Structure 1
């Protein structure tokens, strides 16, 4: 699954780079840059996610919206994202993750309204286990790279304010596998996040 997701990321980036180059060769580039920030409701999903409940987080970063045609656009992003979950059996216990996410969103536009879907890769930069006021670094227990997907909708113009709703799901199990003797154990837990956000677009060229 990781290999397939990586191939998809490379193919998507290559295709959109070529499409934008073709637009530029015809003298009609349509690119805007922007900022985005919002709230996230995050947890785990998967067969072993029974003790995970949702917690609030934050995400913010940059994006470039590249118009491919009047109907389609490609939007790569670079985001800081807080993820993790609370334990359902202990309100004082939680896992907190800090990622640098790179979503590659394909937009279908209808005026300012858009629908989006695409792949995403996240890079874990910190992981903390929290129990009351005590916090422990547990980054070594979790996979550094998280492959996933996104879909959502929103309203965004080439210059000015916009808003959106997005769901992020994971393909990759977040905890690392554990080998005991000749047996490898893998906890089936993946990131899950609902996001609401605001954008501000600056017309590029």
Structure 2
């Protein structure tokens, strides 16, 4: 399932490149910091966590104003989960590692862009850390994360750029919990604010 979905995303990206023959196409690198959390009805006690994201993108001009930008990113997400309400320094850090495939559509105005689109993430690893002790908790979380993105930035076909993006999740991150006669679905979704730099090359 995960491999099929990733293949579909990559095929869509390649089709975009094929249809962009004769249009402006550039490749690039991006990296930056993330401020992440879990949101939802069952995520009220969680706290924000800093992380990193980075990877590759292709910016494909469809018209003079609209561009399609598929990306392949490594993204750290997660949250701080308090363990003692009387001690704000007593918390567990739940860190998630994703391979994200954003499919962003840009509306450009002389380098300034607004973007929006869908995103699919594949969970690579999940760790819970309390003090100096870390444990593998990937089995508690869903392998697939489906969401959306929206953002703003400045990016040319060649050279440096900067952007600010919001990622929101449609799907719950935790798996269902079987309690015998009752199956409980924890309602918590990923969210991330991403501030990043880009470097575009091979523009034409």
> TM-score scaled to structure 1, two decimals?
0.88
Matched, 1:203 2:192: no
Residue 165 of structure 1: how far off its partner (Å): 0.2
Matched, 1:69 2:63: yes
Partner of 1:46: 40
Partner of 1:122: 121
Residue 94 of structure 1: how far off its partner (Å): 1.2
Cα distance in 2 for partners of 1:83, 1:179 equals 26
Deviations 1:16-52 (A, max 9, x none): 765654442xxx2321000000000000010000111
Residue 178 of structure 1: how far off its partner (Å): 1.1
Partner of 1:97: 96
Contact 2:116–2:149 at 8 Å: present in 1 too? yes
Q: 3-state DSSP class of the match of 1:140? A: helix
- Let me know the Cα RMSD of the aligned residues: 2.0
Deviations 1:82-128 (A, max 9, x none): 00011244534110111110000000001100000000000111101
- Structure 1: give runs of 5+ residues left out of the alignment: 1-5
Q: How does 1:15-30 map to 2 (within 5 A)?
A: 20-24=17-21, 28-30=22-24
- Structure 2: give runs of 5+ residues left out of the alignment: none
Cα distance in 2 for partners of 1:37, 1:29 equals 26
